[in-house]
Amino acid sequence: MNYQLRKTSRIKPITAYLKKSVKFYDIDNPLVAQITFIILLAVVFGGYLFMMPHARDLSIIYEQIGNRIIGQMEELNNFDLGMALLSSDLYIEMINTLTTVSLILLLIKSVSFLVSLFYGSWYYLSHSDPGMPGKKRTALFFKRLPKIIIFNIIFYLGLYIAVIAFFTVAVIISVLIPFFAILVILVPIAAVLILKLFAFKDLLIIEFNPGIFRNLKKSVQLTRGSRRNVIINGLWPFFAGWILSYLAIGFENQMISLLIASFLEVIILMVSQRLNALMFLDALSPEN
């Protein structure tokens, strides 16, 4: 029996979850979905609105640096790109503005992730323990929240360090052997695939409250025999969000484009959480 559980793909293809996933408003307490949606839209749209002038400044700085480099290249025969940048006051300004934009974007993504996770945990608990009162679900989430935050900081920091290390090695190898330049492209792709394999890490904390290493181990075990479906299912909201955001850029009014893009991003966040919850329910076997 255990052998069959390990070998059988318990997680279904995306088509089996699509209908339930897209109904982000369909939950045992509709007020939770409504409040979550409003908070997420405020965080995402408000955050992007706050970031917009800094992003515009960064774009102007990039253009000015490009023009300055072209001008110096025309004047000097022995042009040193590194010295031209390092000696430029625009370079310092670019670093400061880029840091500001990155921090704002990180804050938007972090807060929106945690808010959407509350919705995802509520949706999961509505299936795993329908009789649990709403106050108890909320209390359970906030009780686990510090551990979720700490775990994700460690997880993403470790992933970031690993990506930088492999990327550096890939660049060095590609310089020595140009044929292996493809490795530079594969590093970020591999990072995304690895990230999707740990899709259940947060719900594992909600349900079982494991330690860091136990969580990582269990996340991998739950996807055994179903990793292809987990990756493909996890990539679906990613590509859907990217395509929809691209279509939203087509509006002439920048504010309308930003609002529509934020609106679609919020929907994708909630759909992703529902999809993770449904897959997690299927991934859990009686022995778990």
In a domain? residue 237: yes
Residue 111 lies in domain: 2-283
- N-to-C CA span, the chain: 13
pLDDT cut 70: percent of the chain above it: 87
Mean pLDDT of the chain: 86
Residues 15, 275: Cα–Cα separation, whole Å: 11
Top mean pLDDT of 99-108, 180-189, 220-229 is at 99-108
pLDDT cut 90: percent of the chain above it: 56
The 10s digit of each residue's pLDDT in 1-16 is: 333 334 455 899 999 9
Over residues 71-86, mean pLDDT = 57
The 10s digit of each residue's pLDDT in 140-190 is: 999 999 999 999 999 999 999 988 988 888 888 887 887 777 777 888 888
Q: Give the global pTM.
A: 0.87
In a domain? residue 87: yes
Q: Encoding tokens for residue 155? A: 């997880």
CB 274 within 8 A of CB 53: no
As for how many domains the chain has, the answer is: 1
The 10s digit of each residue's pLDDT in 204-218 is: 999 999 999 999 999
In a domain? residue 288: no
In a domain? residue 149: yes
Between 50 and 177, the more confident residue is 50
In a domain? residue 224: yes
Among 33-47, 62-76, 103-117, 184-198, the least confident range: 62-76
Q: Please report the DSSP string for 181-248 in residue order.
A: GHHHHHHHHHHHHHHHHTTTHHHHHHHT---HHHHHHHHHHHTTTTHHHHHHHHHHHHHHHHHHHHHH
pLDDT at 288: 44
Over residues 75-86, mean pLDDT = 54
In a domain? residue 13: yes
The 10s digit of each residue's pLDDT in 33-46 is: 999 999 999 999 99
